[in-house]
Structure 1
Amino acid sequence: MMSLSLAAGVGDTTGHKNMLYLIRLRWIAVLGQITTIAGVSLGLDLNLPMPQMLTVLACLIAFNIGSHLRWHENPIVTNNEMLLALLVDVASLTAQLHFSGGTTNPFAFLYLLQVILSAVLLDAWAAWTIVGITGACLGGLAMFSKPLPVLLEDESAFAHLYVEGMLLCFLLNAGLLVILIKRITGNLRERDAHLADLRQRAAEEDHIVRMGLLASGAAHELGTPMATMSVLLGDWRRMPEFTGNATLLEEIEEMQTQLQRCKTIVTGILLSAGELRGESSAKTTLRSFLEEMLDEWRGNRPVIAFEYDDQLPGDQPVVFDSALKQTIFNLLDNALEASPLWVRLQASTEGDVLKLAVSDRGPGFAPSMLAQFGKPYQSSKGRPGSGLGLFLVVNVIRTLGGTVEARNLDKGALVELRLPLSAIALE
Structure 2
Amino acid sequence: MPRFAIDPQVGTESTTWIRLRTLILLRWIAVAGQIAAILTASVWFGLALPLGACAFAVGLSVVANLVSMTVLPASYRLTSRGALLMLLFDLGQLALLLGLTGGLNNPFALLVVVPVTIAATGLTDRSTALIGAATLICTGLFSVFRLPLQLASGAEIRMPPLLEFGHAIAIVIGVGFLAIYARRVSGEIRSMSEALMATQMALAREQKLTDLGGVVAAAAHEMGTPLATIKLVSSEMIADLANRDDMADLRDDAALIRDQADRCRDILRSMGRAGKDDLHMRHAPLDTVLREAAEPHAHRGKRLIFDLHPDDGADPRQPQIRRAPEIIHGLRNLIQNAVDFAASTVWIDGQWSGDVLIVRVIDDGPGYPPSLLGRIGDPFLRPRADDGRDRPGYEGMGLGLFIAKTLLERSGATLSFANGGDPFLRQDERPVRSGAIVEVAWPQDMVTAPATGPLGENRPIEG
Q: Which structure ranks higher in relative contact order (CA pairs < 8 Å, sequence separation ≥ 6)?
A: 2
TM-score, normalised to structure 2's length?
Answer: 0.41
